[in-house]
Structure 1
Amino acid sequence: MPLTGCETGRGNGEEQAVVGQYASFVAVGDSFTEGLDDPRPDGKGYRGWADLVAGVLAADRPEFRYANLAVRGRLFDNIVAEQVPLAIAMKPGLVSFAGGGNDALRRTFDHETIIARLDKTIEKMRGTGADVVLFRWADMSGRMPGAKMLRPRVDLFNNAIGEVGCKHGAHVVSLWDDPEFANPRLWGIDRLHLSPAGHRRVAAQVLTRIGVECDPDWLVAPAPPEELSWMSRKAADAKWATQHLAPWVKRRLTGRSSGDMVTAKRPELAPLSES
Protein backbone atom coordinates (compact mmCIF):
# COMPACT_ATOMS: atom_id res chain seq x y z
CA MET A 1 0.00 0.00 0.00
CA PRO A 2 2.00 2.99 -1.21
CA LEU A 3 1.87 6.05 0.97
CA THR A 4 3.93 8.88 -0.44
CA GLY A 5 4.99 12.27 0.83
CA CYS A 6 7.90 13.69 2.80
CA GLU A 7 8.44 13.02 6.46
CA THR A 8 6.02 15.20 8.36
CA GLY A 9 6.54 17.48 11.29
CA ARG A 10 4.56 17.05 14.48
CA GLY A 11 2.10 19.45 16.01
CA ASN A 12 3.41 21.37 18.99
CA GLY A 13 0.30 20.90 21.12
CA GLU A 14 0.53 18.87 24.29
CA GLU A 15 -1.94 16.23 23.09
CA GLN A 16 0.50 15.17 20.33
CA ALA A 17 3.02 14.00 22.93
CA VAL A 18 2.49 10.41 21.79
CA VAL A 19 2.17 9.63 18.07
CA GLY A 20 -1.40 8.93 17.08
CA GLN A 21 -2.94 9.86 20.43
CA TYR A 22 -5.24 12.78 19.77
CA ALA A 23 -7.87 14.21 22.06
CA SER A 24 -9.81 15.66 19.13
CA PHE A 25 -10.25 15.35 15.37
CA VAL A 26 -12.02 17.71 12.95
CA ALA A 27 -12.72 16.70 9.35
CA VAL A 28 -13.10 19.42 6.71
CA GLY A 29 -14.18 19.07 3.08
CA ASP A 30 -16.88 17.93 0.67
CA SER A 31 -18.70 14.67 -0.11
CA PHE A 32 -15.47 12.65 0.09
CA THR A 33 -15.16 13.55 3.78
CA GLU A 34 -18.89 13.64 4.52
CA GLY A 35 -18.94 9.93 3.70
CA LEU A 36 -20.85 9.44 0.44
CA ASP A 37 -21.58 6.58 -0.51
CA ASP A 38 -21.08 4.67 2.75
CA PRO A 39 -24.48 4.43 4.49
CA ARG A 40 -24.42 4.12 8.25
CA PRO A 41 -25.47 0.71 9.59
CA ASP A 42 -28.65 2.27 11.02
CA GLY A 43 -29.49 3.80 7.64
CA LYS A 44 -29.41 7.35 9.05
CA GLY A 45 -27.07 9.29 6.84
CA TYR A 46 -23.54 8.44 5.81
CA ARG A 47 -20.53 7.15 7.75
CA GLY A 48 -17.34 7.32 5.64
CA TRP A 49 -13.61 7.13 6.24
CA ALA A 50 -13.48 10.09 8.69
CA ASP A 51 -16.02 8.48 11.03
CA LEU A 52 -14.06 5.23 10.84
CA VAL A 53 -10.82 7.02 11.73
CA ALA A 54 -12.55 8.78 14.62
CA GLY A 55 -13.84 5.45 15.89
CA VAL A 56 -10.32 4.06 16.10
CA LEU A 57 -8.89 7.21 17.70
CA ALA A 58 -11.70 7.20 20.27
CA ALA A 59 -11.07 3.64 21.42
CA ASP A 60 -10.42 3.59 25.17
CA ARG A 61 -10.22 7.40 25.19
CA PRO A 62 -13.39 8.80 26.82
CA GLU A 63 -12.06 12.34 26.46
CA PHE A 64 -11.89 12.09 22.65
CA ARG A 65 -14.03 14.54 20.63
CA TYR A 66 -14.87 14.54 16.92
CA ALA A 67 -16.47 16.99 14.48
CA ASN A 68 -17.16 16.54 10.77
CA LEU A 69 -17.87 19.85 9.01
CA ALA A 70 -17.81 18.47 5.46
CA VAL A 71 -20.77 19.06 3.14
CA ARG A 72 -21.28 17.49 -0.27
CA GLY A 73 -20.95 19.74 -3.30
CA ARG A 74 -18.87 22.40 -1.58
CA LEU A 75 -16.34 24.27 -3.70
CA PHE A 76 -12.83 24.96 -2.47
CA ASP A 77 -13.44 28.62 -1.57
CA ASN A 78 -16.59 27.70 0.37
CA ILE A 79 -14.70 25.08 2.35
CA VAL A 80 -11.95 27.55 3.23
CA ALA A 81 -14.34 30.38 4.08
CA GLU A 82 -17.02 28.40 5.95
CA GLN A 83 -15.35 25.36 7.48
CA VAL A 84 -11.70 26.19 8.11
CA PRO A 85 -12.33 29.06 10.59
CA LEU A 86 -14.68 26.80 12.56
CA ALA A 87 -12.12 24.01 12.59
CA ILE A 88 -9.33 26.32 13.76
CA ALA A 89 -11.54 27.72 16.53
CA MET A 90 -12.12 24.19 17.84
CA LYS A 91 -8.33 23.81 18.36
CA PRO A 92 -8.22 20.12 17.40
CA GLY A 93 -5.18 17.94 17.73
CA LEU A 94 -5.81 16.49 14.27
CA VAL A 95 -7.58 18.04 11.28
CA SER A 96 -8.11 16.64 7.79
CA PHE A 97 -8.52 18.84 4.72
CA ALA A 98 -9.82 17.63 1.35
CA GLY A 99 -11.27 19.95 -1.27
CA GLY A 100 -11.02 21.07 -4.86
CA GLY A 101 -12.59 18.05 -6.52
CA ASN A 102 -15.81 19.86 -7.31
CA ASP A 103 -13.83 22.78 -8.72
CA ALA A 104 -11.85 20.50 -11.03
CA LEU A 105 -15.07 19.32 -12.66
CA ARG A 106 -15.93 22.89 -13.70
CA ARG A 107 -14.69 24.77 -16.74
CA THR A 108 -13.81 27.74 -14.51
CA PHE A 109 -11.18 25.74 -12.58
CA ASP A 110 -8.36 28.12 -11.60
CA HIS A 111 -5.60 25.91 -10.26
CA GLU A 112 -3.15 28.73 -9.53
CA THR A 113 -5.58 30.56 -7.26
CA ILE A 114 -6.68 27.38 -5.49
CA ILE A 115 -3.12 26.17 -4.92
CA ALA A 116 -2.05 29.55 -3.50
CA ARG A 117 -5.00 29.53 -1.11
CA LEU A 118 -4.32 25.90 -0.17
CA ASP A 119 -0.77 26.84 0.82
CA LYS A 120 -1.97 29.67 3.08
CA THR A 121 -4.75 27.54 4.57
CA ILE A 122 -2.50 24.65 5.54
CA GLU A 123 0.09 27.07 6.91
CA LYS A 124 -2.60 28.62 9.11
CA MET A 125 -3.90 25.26 10.37
CA ARG A 126 -0.42 23.95 11.09
CA GLY A 127 0.36 27.19 12.89
CA THR A 128 -2.20 26.28 15.55
CA GLY A 129 -0.17 23.19 16.47
CA ALA A 130 -2.62 20.75 14.88
CA ASP A 131 -1.46 17.81 12.80
CA VAL A 132 -3.00 18.04 9.30
CA VAL A 133 -3.91 15.26 6.88
CA LEU A 134 -4.05 15.99 3.13
CA PHE A 135 -4.97 13.75 0.20
CA ARG A 136 -3.61 13.28 -3.29
CA TRP A 137 -6.65 12.28 -5.36
CA ALA A 138 -7.14 8.87 -6.89
CA ASP A 139 -7.31 8.72 -10.68
CA MET A 140 -10.95 9.00 -11.78
CA SER A 141 -10.30 9.99 -15.39
CA GLY A 142 -10.93 6.48 -16.69
CA ARG A 143 -14.46 6.39 -15.28
CA MET A 144 -15.62 9.94 -15.89
CA PRO A 145 -16.41 11.93 -19.04
CA GLY A 146 -13.99 14.68 -19.99
CA ALA A 147 -10.88 12.66 -19.12
CA LYS A 148 -8.67 14.85 -21.33
CA MET A 149 -9.70 17.87 -19.28
CA LEU A 150 -9.72 16.17 -15.87
CA ARG A 151 -6.40 14.30 -15.87
CA PRO A 152 -4.11 17.35 -16.26
CA ARG A 153 -6.01 19.12 -13.48
CA VAL A 154 -5.62 16.14 -11.16
CA ASP A 155 -1.89 16.01 -11.92
CA LEU A 156 -1.46 19.71 -11.16
CA PHE A 157 -3.39 19.56 -7.93
CA ASN A 158 -1.79 16.33 -6.71
CA ASN A 159 1.69 17.75 -7.27
CA ALA A 160 0.71 20.89 -5.36
CA ILE A 161 -0.75 18.91 -2.46
CA GLY A 162 2.48 16.95 -2.14
CA GLU A 163 4.56 20.11 -2.18
CA VAL A 164 2.33 21.97 0.28
CA GLY A 165 2.26 18.96 2.60
CA CYS A 166 6.04 18.73 2.64
CA LYS A 167 6.44 22.47 3.07
CA HIS A 168 4.22 22.65 6.13
CA GLY A 169 4.87 19.25 7.67
CA ALA A 170 1.44 17.77 6.97
CA HIS A 171 0.60 14.10 6.54
CA VAL A 172 0.02 13.41 2.83
CA VAL A 173 -2.05 10.34 1.99
CA SER A 174 -1.60 9.48 -1.68
CA LEU A 175 -4.61 7.65 -3.05
CA TRP A 176 -3.14 8.25 -6.50
CA ASP A 177 -0.30 5.84 -5.79
CA ASP A 178 -2.57 3.04 -4.58
CA PRO A 179 -3.39 0.82 -7.60
CA GLU A 180 -6.35 -0.73 -5.80
CA PHE A 181 -8.38 2.42 -6.50
CA ALA A 182 -8.57 1.27 -10.12
CA ASN A 183 -10.92 -1.44 -8.84
CA PRO A 184 -14.54 -0.38 -9.61
CA ARG A 185 -15.71 -2.09 -6.42
CA LEU A 186 -14.03 0.64 -4.38
CA TRP A 187 -16.42 3.16 -5.96
CA GLY A 188 -20.16 3.71 -5.71
CA ILE A 189 -22.65 3.36 -8.54
CA ASP A 190 -22.22 7.04 -9.45
CA ARG A 191 -18.51 6.34 -10.21
CA LEU A 192 -17.54 9.47 -8.28
CA HIS A 193 -17.96 8.63 -4.59
CA LEU A 194 -16.31 5.81 -2.69
CA SER A 195 -18.08 2.59 -1.80
CA PRO A 196 -17.98 1.25 1.78
CA ALA A 197 -14.88 -0.78 0.83
CA GLY A 198 -13.26 2.36 -0.58
CA HIS A 199 -13.93 4.34 2.59
CA ARG A 200 -12.45 1.55 4.71
CA ARG A 201 -9.32 1.59 2.60
CA VAL A 202 -8.94 5.38 2.92
CA ALA A 203 -9.45 5.13 6.69
CA ALA A 204 -6.72 2.49 6.87
CA GLN A 205 -4.32 4.68 4.92
CA VAL A 206 -5.01 7.72 7.11
CA LEU A 207 -4.48 5.74 10.29
CA THR A 208 -1.29 4.17 8.96
CA ARG A 209 0.00 7.59 7.98
CA ILE A 210 -0.49 9.03 11.47
CA GLY A 211 1.05 5.99 13.12
CA VAL A 212 -2.07 4.19 14.36
CA GLU A 213 -2.82 0.52 13.82
CA CYS A 214 -5.95 -0.26 11.83
CA ASP A 215 -8.10 -3.28 11.17
CA PRO A 216 -6.14 -5.22 8.49
CA ASP A 217 -9.42 -6.24 6.89
CA TRP A 218 -9.92 -2.62 5.84
CA LEU A 219 -7.05 -3.07 3.40
CA VAL A 220 -8.50 -6.20 1.83
CA ALA A 221 -10.03 -4.98 -1.42
CA PRO A 222 -12.87 -6.99 -2.97
CA ALA A 223 -12.18 -8.86 -6.18
CA PRO A 224 -12.73 -6.69 -9.28
CA PRO A 225 -15.96 -7.37 -11.17
CA GLU A 226 -15.92 -9.59 -14.21
CA GLU A 227 -15.16 -7.86 -17.48
CA LEU A 228 -18.36 -6.87 -19.26
CA SER A 229 -19.00 -7.38 -22.94
CA TRP A 230 -18.95 -4.34 -25.22
CA MET A 231 -22.74 -4.26 -25.35
CA SER A 232 -23.07 -4.61 -21.57
CA ARG A 233 -20.58 -1.79 -21.00
CA LYS A 234 -22.51 0.50 -23.33
CA ALA A 235 -25.76 -0.34 -21.55
CA ALA A 236 -24.17 0.32 -18.16
CA ASP A 237 -22.75 3.64 -19.40
CA ALA A 238 -26.15 4.70 -20.73
CA LYS A 239 -27.82 3.86 -17.42
CA TRP A 240 -25.16 5.76 -15.48
CA ALA A 241 -25.51 8.79 -17.77
CA THR A 242 -29.27 8.87 -17.24
CA GLN A 243 -29.24 8.34 -13.48
CA HIS A 244 -26.13 10.29 -12.46
CA LEU A 245 -24.55 12.39 -15.23
CA ALA A 246 -27.74 14.08 -16.43
CA PRO A 247 -28.81 15.27 -12.94
CA TRP A 248 -25.29 16.58 -12.33
CA VAL A 249 -25.33 18.53 -15.61
CA LYS A 250 -28.78 19.92 -14.79
CA ARG A 251 -27.54 21.19 -11.42
CA ARG A 252 -24.59 22.89 -13.11
CA LEU A 253 -26.85 24.58 -15.67
CA THR A 254 -29.25 25.81 -13.00
CA GLY A 255 -26.57 26.91 -10.54
CA ARG A 256 -27.62 24.39 -7.92
CA SER A 257 -25.57 22.02 -5.78
CA SER A 258 -26.26 18.63 -4.22
CA GLY A 259 -25.43 20.23 -0.87
CA ASP A 260 -27.72 23.25 -1.07
CA MET A 261 -30.03 22.00 1.68
CA VAL A 262 -27.40 19.97 3.56
CA THR A 263 -25.64 20.94 6.77
CA ALA A 264 -22.65 19.39 8.51
CA LYS A 265 -23.51 16.08 10.18
CA ARG A 266 -21.28 16.78 13.20
CA PRO A 267 -20.93 20.58 13.47
CA GLU A 268 -19.46 20.61 16.96
CA LEU A 269 -16.76 18.71 18.80
CA ALA A 270 -18.52 15.95 20.75
CA PRO A 271 -17.97 12.40 21.92
CA LEU A 272 -18.27 9.95 19.05
CA SER A 273 -21.41 8.43 20.56
CA GLU A 274 -23.24 11.74 20.08
CA SER A 275 -24.66 12.40 16.60
Structure 2
Amino acid sequence: MSRWTSLVVVGDSFAEGVGDPLPDGTFRGWSDLVASQLAARETGLRYANLAVRGRRLDRIVAEQLPVATGMRPDLVCFSAGGNDALRPGFDAADLMARFDRAVGTLAEAGAQVVLFRFPDQSVRLPLPGLLRPRIVAMNEAVSALAGRHGAYVVDLFADPAFGDPALWCQDRLHLGPAGHRRVADHILATLGVAPAPEPARAGTAARRRRRDDARWARSYLGPWLRRRLTGGSSGDTVGAKRPQLTAVEVA
Protein backbone atom coordinates (compact mmCIF):
# COMPACT_ATOMS: atom_id res chain seq x y z
CA MET A 1 0.00 0.00 0.00
CA SER A 2 1.25 3.48 -0.85
CA ARG A 3 1.91 5.94 1.93
CA TRP A 4 0.37 9.35 1.38
CA THR A 5 1.34 12.38 3.42
CA SER A 6 -1.04 14.90 1.84
CA LEU A 7 -4.47 14.85 0.22
CA VAL A 8 -6.04 17.69 -1.79
CA VAL A 9 -9.61 17.59 -3.10
CA VAL A 10 -10.54 19.65 -6.17
CA GLY A 11 -13.97 20.07 -7.73
CA ASP A 12 -17.57 21.14 -7.23
CA SER A 13 -20.42 20.35 -4.82
CA PHE A 14 -19.83 16.60 -5.12
CA ALA A 15 -16.32 17.08 -3.73
CA GLU A 16 -17.25 19.85 -1.30
CA GLY A 17 -19.66 17.50 0.46
CA VAL A 18 -22.97 19.27 -0.21
CA GLY A 19 -25.81 17.12 1.08
CA ASP A 20 -23.95 15.81 4.13
CA PRO A 21 -24.42 18.63 6.67
CA LEU A 22 -22.74 18.93 10.04
CA PRO A 23 -24.41 20.53 13.10
CA ASP A 24 -22.55 23.81 12.52
CA GLY A 25 -24.01 24.16 9.01
CA THR A 26 -20.85 23.14 7.14
CA PHE A 27 -20.61 20.01 5.03
CA ARG A 28 -18.62 16.86 5.68
CA GLY A 29 -18.95 14.63 2.61
CA TRP A 30 -16.89 11.76 1.29
CA SER A 31 -13.69 13.82 1.21
CA ASP A 32 -13.63 14.39 4.97
CA LEU A 33 -14.49 10.73 5.55
CA VAL A 34 -11.65 9.57 3.31
CA ALA A 35 -9.20 11.99 4.91
CA SER A 36 -10.13 10.74 8.36
CA GLN A 37 -9.69 7.10 7.37
CA LEU A 38 -6.36 7.75 5.67
CA ALA A 39 -5.14 9.75 8.66
CA ALA A 40 -5.91 6.80 10.90
CA ARG A 41 -3.45 4.78 8.79
CA GLU A 42 -0.97 7.46 7.79
CA THR A 43 0.37 9.41 10.75
CA GLY A 44 0.68 13.12 10.00
CA LEU A 45 -1.57 13.18 6.92
CA ARG A 46 -2.47 16.72 5.87
CA TYR A 47 -5.64 17.53 3.96
CA ALA A 48 -7.09 20.44 1.98
CA ASN A 49 -10.44 20.73 0.21
CA LEU A 50 -10.60 23.44 -2.45
CA ALA A 51 -13.93 22.38 -3.98
CA VAL A 52 -16.77 24.89 -4.31
CA ARG A 53 -20.38 24.13 -5.22
CA GLY A 54 -21.64 25.23 -8.62
CA ARG A 55 -18.22 25.38 -10.24
CA ARG A 56 -17.79 24.36 -13.86
CA LEU A 57 -14.63 22.80 -15.24
CA ASP A 58 -12.92 25.91 -16.58
CA ARG A 59 -13.35 27.82 -13.34
CA ILE A 60 -12.13 24.82 -11.33
CA VAL A 61 -9.04 24.68 -13.52
CA ALA A 62 -8.43 28.44 -13.27
CA GLU A 63 -9.03 28.81 -9.53
CA GLN A 64 -8.29 25.50 -7.87
CA LEU A 65 -5.60 23.76 -9.92
CA PRO A 66 -2.85 26.35 -9.37
CA VAL A 67 -3.46 26.21 -5.63
CA ALA A 68 -3.56 22.42 -5.62
CA THR A 69 -0.35 21.97 -7.60
CA GLY A 70 1.37 24.58 -5.45
CA MET A 71 0.71 22.39 -2.41
CA ARG A 72 2.64 19.50 -4.06
CA PRO A 73 0.27 16.86 -2.67
CA ASP A 74 0.82 13.12 -2.92
CA LEU A 75 -2.84 12.43 -3.65
CA VAL A 76 -5.49 14.53 -5.42
CA CYS A 77 -9.19 13.67 -5.80
CA PHE A 78 -10.42 15.52 -8.89
CA SER A 79 -14.07 15.76 -9.96
CA ALA A 80 -15.48 18.20 -12.49
CA GLY A 81 -17.84 18.42 -15.43
CA GLY A 82 -21.14 17.62 -13.75
CA ASN A 83 -22.32 21.22 -13.82
CA ASP A 84 -21.18 21.56 -17.43
CA ALA A 85 -23.26 18.53 -18.43
CA LEU A 86 -26.43 20.25 -17.18
CA ARG A 87 -26.00 23.21 -19.55
CA PRO A 88 -27.31 23.63 -23.10
CA GLY A 89 -24.80 23.22 -25.90
CA PHE A 90 -22.75 20.68 -23.98
CA ASP A 91 -19.91 19.17 -26.04
CA ALA A 92 -18.52 16.10 -24.28
CA ALA A 93 -15.45 15.73 -26.52
CA ASP A 94 -14.42 19.34 -26.04
CA LEU A 95 -15.03 19.28 -22.30
CA MET A 96 -13.13 16.05 -21.75
CA ALA A 97 -10.17 17.27 -23.79
CA ARG A 98 -9.85 20.14 -21.30
CA PHE A 99 -10.46 17.69 -18.45
CA ASP A 100 -7.61 15.52 -19.79
CA ARG A 101 -5.24 18.48 -19.76
CA ALA A 102 -6.21 19.28 -16.18
CA VAL A 103 -5.48 15.73 -15.04
CA GLY A 104 -2.18 15.91 -16.87
CA THR A 105 -1.28 19.08 -14.99
CA LEU A 106 -1.95 17.38 -11.65
CA ALA A 107 0.00 14.26 -12.61
CA GLU A 108 2.96 16.28 -13.89
CA ALA A 109 3.08 18.04 -10.51
CA GLY A 110 3.76 14.66 -8.92
CA ALA A 111 0.28 13.83 -7.60
CA GLN A 112 -1.43 10.47 -7.72
CA VAL A 113 -4.85 11.41 -9.12
CA VAL A 114 -8.22 9.89 -8.22
CA LEU A 115 -10.99 10.26 -10.83
CA PHE A 116 -14.66 9.28 -10.87
CA ARG A 117 -17.13 7.60 -13.17
CA PHE A 118 -20.33 9.33 -12.04
CA PRO A 119 -23.62 7.64 -11.15
CA ASP A 120 -26.49 7.91 -13.60
CA GLN A 121 -28.41 10.95 -12.34
CA SER A 122 -30.66 10.93 -15.39
CA VAL A 123 -33.09 8.54 -13.68
CA ARG A 124 -34.10 11.31 -11.25
CA LEU A 125 -33.94 14.41 -13.44
CA PRO A 126 -35.90 15.78 -16.42
CA LEU A 127 -34.88 14.87 -19.98
CA PRO A 128 -33.12 11.59 -19.13
CA GLY A 129 -32.67 10.87 -22.83
CA LEU A 130 -30.51 14.00 -23.07
CA LEU A 131 -28.59 13.68 -19.81
CA ARG A 132 -27.71 9.97 -19.77
CA PRO A 133 -25.64 10.05 -23.02
CA ARG A 134 -23.67 12.96 -21.59
CA ILE A 135 -22.91 11.05 -18.39
CA VAL A 136 -21.93 7.94 -20.34
CA ALA A 137 -19.66 9.93 -22.67
CA MET A 138 -17.91 11.62 -19.76
CA ASN A 139 -17.45 8.33 -17.93
CA GLU A 140 -16.02 6.61 -21.00
CA ALA A 141 -13.58 9.47 -21.46
CA VAL A 142 -12.47 9.23 -17.82
CA SER A 143 -11.76 5.53 -18.25
CA ALA A 144 -9.71 6.22 -21.39
CA LEU A 145 -7.63 9.09 -20.05
CA ALA A 146 -6.96 7.57 -16.62
CA GLY A 147 -4.49 5.09 -18.06
CA ARG A 148 -2.46 7.84 -19.74
CA HIS A 149 -1.96 9.58 -16.41
CA GLY A 150 -1.74 6.56 -14.12
CA ALA A 151 -4.87 7.68 -12.29
CA TYR A 152 -7.15 5.69 -10.04
CA VAL A 153 -10.76 5.43 -11.24
CA VAL A 154 -13.62 5.14 -8.74
CA ASP A 155 -16.48 3.56 -10.67
CA LEU A 156 -19.74 4.79 -9.15
CA PHE A 157 -21.66 4.30 -12.40
CA ALA A 158 -21.37 0.52 -12.03
CA ASP A 159 -22.81 0.48 -8.50
CA PRO A 160 -26.60 -0.06 -8.56
CA ALA A 161 -26.83 1.27 -4.99
CA PHE A 162 -26.83 4.79 -6.41
CA GLY A 163 -30.22 4.07 -7.94
CA ASP A 164 -31.66 4.13 -4.41
CA PRO A 165 -33.22 7.53 -3.58
CA ALA A 166 -32.12 7.01 0.04
CA LEU A 167 -28.57 7.84 -1.04
CA TRP A 168 -29.61 11.23 -2.44
CA CYS A 169 -30.94 14.55 -1.18
CA GLN A 170 -34.45 15.72 -1.99
CA ASP A 171 -33.02 18.01 -4.66
CA ARG A 172 -32.01 14.86 -6.64
CA LEU A 173 -28.71 16.51 -7.59
CA HIS A 174 -26.63 15.96 -4.48
CA LEU A 175 -25.73 12.90 -2.50
CA GLY A 176 -27.11 12.59 1.02
CA PRO A 177 -25.11 11.34 4.02
CA ALA A 178 -25.53 7.67 3.06
CA GLY A 179 -24.43 8.43 -0.50
CA HIS A 180 -21.30 10.24 0.65
CA ARG A 181 -20.43 7.35 2.93
CA ARG A 182 -20.74 4.91 0.05
CA VAL A 183 -18.52 7.07 -2.18
CA ALA A 184 -15.91 7.16 0.61
CA ASP A 185 -16.07 3.38 0.85
CA HIS A 186 -15.50 3.06 -2.89
CA ILE A 187 -12.52 5.45 -2.81
CA LEU A 188 -10.87 3.62 0.07
CA ALA A 189 -11.39 0.30 -1.70
CA THR A 190 -9.94 1.70 -4.94
CA LEU A 191 -6.90 2.94 -3.03
CA GLY A 192 -6.49 -0.52 -1.55
CA VAL A 193 -6.91 0.50 2.09
CA ALA A 194 -10.35 -1.03 2.73
CA PRO A 195 -12.56 -3.80 1.32
CA ALA A 196 -15.15 -3.06 -1.34
CA PRO A 197 -18.54 -1.94 -0.01
CA GLU A 198 -21.26 -4.53 0.32
CA PRO A 199 -23.17 -5.12 -2.93
CA ALA A 200 -26.44 -3.26 -3.24
CA ARG A 201 -29.60 -5.19 -2.53
CA ALA A 202 -31.86 -5.86 -5.47
CA GLY A 203 -34.92 -3.69 -5.96
CA THR A 204 -33.81 -0.64 -3.98
CA ALA A 205 -34.66 1.92 -6.66
CA ALA A 206 -38.05 3.55 -6.07
CA ARG A 207 -40.42 4.52 -8.86
CA ARG A 208 -40.89 8.22 -9.44
CA ARG A 209 -44.37 9.58 -8.92
CA ARG A 210 -45.83 12.56 -10.75
CA ARG A 211 -46.80 14.40 -7.58
CA ASP A 212 -43.23 13.98 -6.31
CA ASP A 213 -41.91 15.37 -9.59
CA ALA A 214 -44.21 18.39 -9.33
CA ARG A 215 -43.14 19.09 -5.75
CA TRP A 216 -39.48 18.73 -6.71
CA ALA A 217 -39.88 21.10 -9.66
CA ARG A 218 -41.40 23.81 -7.45
CA SER A 219 -38.83 23.46 -4.69
CA TYR A 220 -35.62 22.82 -6.61
CA LEU A 221 -35.88 23.02 -10.40
CA GLY A 222 -37.46 26.48 -10.40
CA PRO A 223 -34.76 28.12 -8.24
CA TRP A 224 -32.04 26.36 -10.27
CA LEU A 225 -33.47 27.70 -13.52
CA ARG A 226 -33.73 31.21 -12.10
CA ARG A 227 -30.04 31.14 -11.20
CA ARG A 228 -29.18 30.00 -14.73
CA LEU A 229 -31.27 32.79 -16.28
CA THR A 230 -29.63 35.44 -14.10
CA GLY A 231 -26.12 34.06 -14.53
CA GLY A 232 -25.87 33.15 -10.87
CA SER A 233 -24.41 30.10 -9.14
CA SER A 234 -25.00 28.44 -5.78
CA GLY A 235 -21.31 28.99 -5.05
CA ASP A 236 -21.11 32.70 -5.82
CA THR A 237 -20.57 33.66 -2.17
CA VAL A 238 -18.83 30.44 -1.09
CA GLY A 239 -15.12 29.80 -0.65
CA ALA A 240 -13.14 26.62 -0.17
CA LYS A 241 -14.05 24.96 3.12
CA ARG A 242 -10.47 23.85 3.83
CA PRO A 243 -8.13 26.06 1.78
CA GLN A 244 -4.89 25.08 3.55
CA LEU A 245 -3.13 21.77 3.98
CA THR A 246 -3.61 21.01 7.66
CA ALA A 247 -3.34 17.94 9.83
CA VAL A 248 -6.40 15.74 10.10
CA GLU A 249 -7.85 15.03 13.51
CA VAL A 250 -8.55 11.33 13.92
CA ALA A 251 -11.77 10.57 15.77
Residue of structure 2 equivalent to 1:114? 95
Instruction: Find the aligned partners of 2:235 and 2:202 in 1 and give their Cα distance.
Output: 32
Cα 1:247–1:135 shift into 2, 3 Å: same
Instruction: Find the aligned partners of 1:87 and 1:54 in 2 and give their Cα distance.
Output: 16
Residue identity over aligned pairs, in percent, reads: 50
Instruction: Find the aligned partners of 1:223 and 1:184 in 2 and give their Cα distance.
Output: 14
State TM-score, norm by structure 2. 0.93
Alignment of 1:12-91 (within 5 A): 19-40=1-22, 42-59=23-40, 61-91=42-72
How many residue pairs end up in the alignment?
A: 250
Aligned partner of residue 244 in structure 2, secondary structure: strand
Post-superposition offset of 1:255: 0.4
Counterpart amino acid of 1:269? L
Residue of structure 2 equivalent to 1:269? 245
Instruction: Find the aligned partners of 2:38 and 2:206 in 1 and give their Cα distance.
Output: 39
Instruction: Find the aligned partners of 1:225 and 1:167 in 2 and give their Cα distance.
Output: 36
Instruction: Find the aligned partners of 2:111 and 2:205 in 1 and give their Cα distance.
Output: 44
* Aligned mate of 2:149, from 168, 181, 188: 168
Aligned partner of residue 66 in structure 1, secondary structure: strand
Alignment of 1:1-275 (within 5 A): 19-40=1-22, 42-59=23-40, 61-213=42-194, 219=198, 233-273=209-249
Instruction: Find the aligned partners of 1:98 and 1:86 in 2 and give their Cα distance.
Output: 16
Counterpart amino acid of 1:260? D
Instruction: Find the aligned partners of 2:157 and 2:72 in 1 and give their Cα distance.
Output: 30
Counterpart amino acid of 1:67? A
Instruction: Find the aligned partners of 2:8 and 2:205 in 1 and give their Cα distance.
Output: 39
State TM-score, norm by structure 1. 0.85
The gaps in structure 1 that reach 5 residues or longer are 1-18
Aligned partner of residue 52 in structure 2, secondary structure: coil
Post-superposition offset of 1:238: 1.1
Aligned partner of residue 148 in structure 2, secondary structure: helix
The gaps in structure 2 that reach 5 residues or longer are none
Asked whether the 8 Å contact 2:165–2:206 carries over to 1, the reply is: no
Post-superposition offset of 1:110: 2.5
After TM superposition, where is structure 1 displaced by more than 4 Å over at least 4 residues in a row?
218-228
Cα 1:111–1:220 shift into 2, 3 Å: closer
Post-superposition offset of 1:121: 1.4
Asked whether the 8 Å contact 2:164–2:205 carries over to 1, the reply is: no
Q: How large is the RMSD of aligned CA atoms in angstroms?
A: 2.1
